[in-house]
Each structure stands twice: as structure tokens, then as C-alpha cells.
Amino acid sequence: MTTIQQALTQGISRDIDSLDAQLLLAHVLQVERSTLYAYPERELTPAQEQQYLALIERRAQDEPVAYLVGHKEFYGLDLIVDNRVLIPRPETELLIDTALHVCRQKIAAGSIPIVADIGTGSGAIPIALAVNEPRLPYLYATDISSDALAVASLNCQRNHVHQRVRLLQGDLIAPLPEPVDLLTANLPYVGASETAQLTPDVQNYEPHLALFSGPDGLDLLERFLTDVARSNVLKAEGVVLLEIGYQQRERLAQMIYALWPQAKLSIYKDYAGWDRVLQVTLSS
Ligand SMILES: C[S@@+](CC[C@H](N)C(=O)[O-])C[C@H]1O[C@@H](n2cnc3c(N)ncnc32)[C@H](O)[C@@H]1O
């Protein structure tokens, strides 16, 4: 019989990061990670050992832990993830903080904002906004991938916001039925030229539709901004919040000023110090 301690050692001997081995073992045993420290001598059943070793082998082939355990924590929420959606990243929590601030400013000024998230994937952004700002009556969330929207739908139900988050399939802003006050978007922004910089777990397992956007990663962001400028989808005094690549700020600022010469731009840096969230505030 294999003990918890021996199982973890086995994982590490397959070159698995010790935190990953703990997460996989805790998942198999259906316990908190702290239980592993408390009961290192506890024995696994043969079925548990087999399941754990199978997961360790898949992790050794670079499959992300979040896909192996089937969920990921984001902004204090538990989200279902699988290979139909991008795994929500901690950087995106900065977009949530900024969006909540914008919503609360608008509410304090006396208007309840209508929010739409474009390229919603797992639904991480609209779900975090809906859960944390109950005064938002409803939000829209679009994605071109019906597979991604199926996962988003499960996450809306799991987090009890399925009656407020309206999932719409289609290209960028095309499915939106009415003008909105705030557009959030974490669209694909990796350039084809950056493929070699991606780690194998990202490159080989996450959906390329969620990662790549033309040679320098800007194609979809440019089309999104142009679509917004040419439509009436953003109300006067509306705000766009974009998650961006760390080298994209200047190029995007040029595009934005060409489309909206009066726009006010703000940039927010992530915890690593990179430019990560770009706020565009329209003024009349
Ligand atoms: C980087 S992922 C972000 C997912 C999620 N918003 C998050 O932050 O975790 C980008 C998402 O954009 C979607 N997407 C790609 N092209 C699109 C398009 N033309 N219109 C709408 N969504 C698109 C992808 O399917 C993917 O779910």
C-alpha cells in the first residue's frame, strides 16, 4: 500500500512540481491540501493510487493541472475549466478590480451600468462582476466559440448568476442587442511570432482560438476597437477595459486616438509590473 507521503515523492520523482503533485493527490482523495500534511501516513486505496498515477503521467506530458482537476479558482470563485476554454489567469483579476471601480463610480453618480464582456471563455469576467456587484441587474457575455459558451453556462449556474449573465454566441460585439456603458475584453493577444515563448502546457493544451491573434497579437483588438467606434454599441461617456500584452500599449494607444481623438486613456500594471489593463474613457 502506498501512503500519501510516498505518493507525493513518486510525483516529484516524475519531475512534477511538488505543489502540482499535492493538488492532484488532494483532488483524487477529495480532501483539502492541508489534509495531506496532517496525515502523511494515510494509505491510498489501489483505485486512488491508479487514478493519481494516471494524472501524474498526464501532468508529465504538460497537461495543465486545472484541466486535470477540472476547475480553477478565480477572484475567489470556483470555475469549471476544460480544454474548451482558456484557464483564467491571475492577471485578469486586475481587470475585475478596475471594472468594479468603474461600475461603482457610475452607480454612485446615479446610473446603473449595462456591462458586456467580449470573448468571455469560461465566463470568468462577467461572473466575477455579477457576484461582486449585485446591483448590476444583468450583463452580456459574448464568445465566437459555442464550446466555450457551454462551459460559461455551467459556471453561471455553479455561481448562481445564470439569470443575470446573458450568454450570446457570435463575432465580437455583433450579438449585443443594445448599447452598453462598459465593455470588458480579454481577447486573444498573443502574436504568432511569440509562439516559441509559450510554455508547452499553454501551447499544446489551451485553445488556440483563445490565444492567438495575427502576427503581433493585435488583429482582434484592432478589429474590436474599430467595430466599437463604427457602431453605437458604446454609450456616450462609455468605458472600454482591455487586457493587453505587455508590449502592446503604444500601438493600441495610437489606434485608440485615431478612432477617438478625445478619449482618455489609463494604464494599470499587473503585480509583475507589466502594463496589463488599458482603460479607454469616451468623452463627449
Ligand atoms: C484570452 S481568452 C479569454 C477568456 C476569458 N475572458 C478570460 O479572461 O479567462 C479569449 C476568448 O475570446 C474568444 N474569441 C476569439 N475570437 C473571438 C471573436 N472573433 N469574437 C468573440 N470571441 C472570440 C475565444 O473563444 C476565447 O474564449
Domain boundaries, the chain: 4-61, 72-281
Distance CA 147, CA 144 (A): 9
Q: Name the residue at shortest CA distance from atom 11 of ligand 1.
A: 119
> Does pLDDT of 283 surpass 90?
no
> Does pLDDT of 284 surpass 70?
no
Instruction: Say which CATH topology domain 72-281 has.
Output: Rossmann fold (3.40.50)
* pTM of the entire predicted model: 0.96
Q: Name the residue at shortest CA distance from atom 2 of ligand 1.
A: 210
Across the range 138-151, mean pLDDT stands at 98
The interaxial angle of helices 46-60 and 4-13, nearest 10 deg, is: 20
Across the range 145-152, mean pLDDT stands at 98
For residue 256, give every residue at least 6 positions away whose Cβ sits within 8 Å of its Cβ, in sequence order, or none: 225, 263, 265, 278, 280
Q: To the nearest whole percent, how much of the chain has pLDDT over 70?
A: 100
Ligand 1 centre distance from Cα of residue 53 (Å)? 33
> Does pLDDT of 154 surpass 90?
yes
b vs e for 151-177, b when ≥16 Cβ sit within 10 Å of the residue's Cβ?
Answer: bbbbbbebbebbebbbbbeeebbebbe
CATH 3.30.1490 fits 4-61, yes or no: no
CB 64 within 8 A of CB 201: yes
Across the range 133-156, mean pLDDT stands at 98
Ligand 1 centre distance from Cα of residue 145 (Å)? 8
Q: Name the residue at shortest CA distance from atom 13 of ligand 1.
A: 119
Residues lining ligand 1, Cβ inside 6 A: 86, 88, 92, 119-122, 124-125, 142-145, 148, 171-172, 186-188, 209-210, 220
Ligand 1 centre distance from Cα of residue 147 (Å)? 11
